[in-house]
Amino acid sequence: MTPVVLAMPGNERSADELARVIGAERGSATIRRFPDGESYVRIESSVQDRRVLVVCTLDRPDAKLVPLLLLAAAAHDNAALDVGLVAPYLPYMRQDRRFHPGETISARHVANWISSAFDWIVTVDPHLHRIERLSQVYPIPTRVVHSAPAVAAWLRENVRQPLLVGPDSESEQWVADIANRIDAPFVVLQKTRRGDREVEVSVPDIGRWRGHTPVLVDDIVSTARTMVAALEHLRAAGAPAPVCVVVHAIFAGEALLELRLAGAADVVSCDTVPHLSNRIPLTGAIAEQIRLLFESGISRSSVDESRVNDNQEETR
Same domain, yes or no, for 10 and 78? yes
Same domain, yes or no, for 248 and 159? yes
Same domain, yes or no, for 263 and 179? yes
* Total tally of structural domains belonging to the chain: 2
Same domain, yes or no, for 191 and 206? yes
pLDDT of amino acid 194: 54
Same domain, yes or no, for 48 and 164? no
Same domain, yes or no, for 251 and 106? no
Same domain, yes or no, for 205 and 268? yes
Q: What's the burial of 244, exposed, middle or buried (CB within 10 Å: 0-12/13-18/19+)? A: buried
User: What would the pLDDT profile of 235-277 be if each residue is shown by its tens digit?
Assistant: 888 899 999 999 999 999 999 999 999 999 999 999 999 999 9
What sign for the dihedral angle of Cα 84, 89, 92, 93?
positive
Contact indicator for 7, 19 with CB cutoff of 8 Å: no
Same domain, yes or no, for 46 and 120? yes
Same domain, yes or no, for 138 and 37? yes
Q: List the single range of 42-56, 138-152, 210-224, 298-312 with lowest mean pLDDT.
A: 298-312
Contact indicator for 285, 155 with CB cutoff of 8 Å: no
Domain span holding position 152? 148-280
Same domain, yes or no, for 301 and 201? no
Q: H helices of 136-224, where?
A: 148-158, 172-182
Same domain, yes or no, for 90 and 19? yes
Domain harbouring 228, CATH code: 3.40.50.2020
Q: What's the burial of 307, exposed, middle or buried (CB within 10 Å: 0-12/13-18/19+)? A: middle
Same domain, yes or no, for 46 and 128? yes
pTM: 0.89
At residue 316, does pLDDT exceed 50?
A: no
